[in-house]
Amino acid sequence: MRPAAVLLVLLAATMASCATRDGEGRRAVPSQQARAEEHSDQRRPMSSTVIGLENPMLAQGARALADGDAAEGVRLTLEGLKSPNPVHDLAAGRSNLCAGYVLLHRYDEALAECNLSIALDPSNWRAYNNRGAVFAAQGLYELAAADIETGLKIAPNSAVLLKSLAIIHHDQELLRHHRRFAADA
């Protein structure tokens, strides 16, 4: 697997979360303004409403992925997805599975999970970032860049997406240099 793809996924996994917490064992739903701020990566306090119990398996899976334990993150997330979940949590869980599968070099499964996440919530920029990591890991840099650019339309100030796009462009340039060097040899 290409090192840049690992970095893309680690950036995405670190930022991934299935639900915000507002009190022990409760799930908080962000307001429209808070979601807009989250999507633009601005660091302001989140306004939220508590509406029920959080899915602890999805939250634990997200934490395991953020800690770099892809196998455990995938296992916990799969368990969490067996329970009824709001669409936002389903989409986040599928995006997290995508990131975990990329880390495990299981690209076909990763792509399927990212596609499902995007179908569930087309405004989830993290799913586009993760799918970009799938494509980058396979050397499909044009597709990777297109996904990152789609994510940037949703979250134009996302530091994660901007960093991912820079990594993809850097890898494309390295590949061009490598091809020129190989052709001259």
pLDDT 10s digits, 69-123: 999 999 999 999 999 999 999 999 999 999 999 999 999 999 999 999 999 999 9
Give domain status of residue 173, yes or no: yes
- How much is the pTM? 0.74
Above pLDDT 90, what percent of the chain?
62
Give domain status of residue 37, yes or no: no
pLDDT for 181 beyond 60: yes
Q: What residue numbers bound the domain in which 99 lies?
A: 3-19+55-184
Q: How many domains does the chain have?
A: 1
Give domain status of residue 32, yes or no: no
Mapping DSSP onto H, E and C, the string for the chain reads CCHHHHHHHHHHHHHCCCCEECCCCEEEEECHHHHHHHHCCCCCCCCEEEEEECCHHHHHHHHHHHCCCHHHHHHHHHHHCCCCCCHHHHHHHHHHHHHHHHHCCCHHHHHHHHHHHHHHCCCCHHHHHHHHHHHHHCCCHHHHHHHHHHHHHHCCCCHHHHHHHHHHHHHHHHHHHHHHHHHHC
Give domain status of residue 112, yes or no: yes
pLDDT value at residue 34? 44
pLDDT for 29 beyond 80: no
Q: Exposure of 136 by Cβ count < 10 A (0-12 exposed, 13-18 middle, 19+ buried)?
A: buried
Mean pLDDT of 149-161: 96
Task: State the CATH number of the domain containing residue 116.
Answer: 1.25.40.10
Give domain status of residue 25, yes or no: no
How far apart CA 12 and CA 105 sit, in angstroms, is 16
pLDDT value at residue 155? 97
